[in-house]
Structure 1
């Protein structure tokens, strides 16, 4: 299992091919584990999750648009409906999917959820900070 990694340094990123395989569900080399953790817990993690879902749905959408022998309007409707349904299910299982990715990278189950909760709490406390409310000069 991996220990806690510093979130201050930028982790090594996967190559384009590695990212594509990762988006489709494959694991990444162990040295990219900190990147997986940052990808699934950092700001924008939901947007990145949805992007991976679109990548996963793309082959089926392309087949629907190119191969099915019906008028284009039907193909477009079917592709749009399939995309929306796929994204709906992706959102429904977003937490479980990201936890699985993090566990596959070698972290304990629950790590991603815990780190996201810690970040959310930290951000909430920072927003409530007196320094944010009235500025540093309000303590004079």
Structure 2
């Protein structure tokens, strides 16, 4: 698995596609244990240029500009969190994976833990009467 360099990763973080040789890395990126954190980091990278631009271009008191930029960033991150699964699926599709493949990989990885949790739940709360 080949990881992209810093410039290609920045392009990827901003929404660009990667060459086919990074296909396996993209799948790893959107299915690894920390995939939601990775997506939120990419969202911060997408919001950062706009925040910096607004902070230095918009006239007014510094504290007002800071609060406005932080408020906008929070709204952007809420939307990013709400759409995290769809965004990662789209990244996997752009890399050449079939639709819903990333979610299937995550589900297969988490299946043993979920089965154990379901078993513990059934033992604790389900009683045949």
TM-score of the pair, normalised by structure 1:
0.80
State how far apart, in whole Å, the 1-side matches of 2:6 and 2:73 are: 23
Deviation at 1:122? 2.7
5+ residue gaps, structure 2: 119-129
What is the Cα deviation at residue 123 of structure 1?
3.3
CA distance in 1: counterparts of 2:38 and 2:112, whole angstroms: 22
Output one character per residue of 1:80-136: Cα deviation in whole Å (capped at 9) or x when no partner: 1011000011111111111110000000000011111111113345779xxxxxxxx
Which residue in 1 is equivalent to 2:113? 123
Q: CA RMSD in A?
A: 1.6
**DSSP 3-state at the match of 1:55:** helix
TM-score normalised per structure 2: 0.87
Structure 1 outlier segments of 4+, above 2 Å = 122-128
1:67 is matched with which residue? 57
The match for 1:24 is 14
User: Which of residues 77, 95, 99 is equivalent to 2:85?
Assistant: 95
Tell me the number of residue pairs that the alignment of Structure 1 and Structure 2 aligns.
119
Residue 52 of structure 1 corresponds to 42
Gaps of 5+ in 1: 1-10, 129-140
> In structure 2, the residue corresponding to 1:31 is in which secondary structure?
helix
Q: Which has the higher helix share?
A: 2
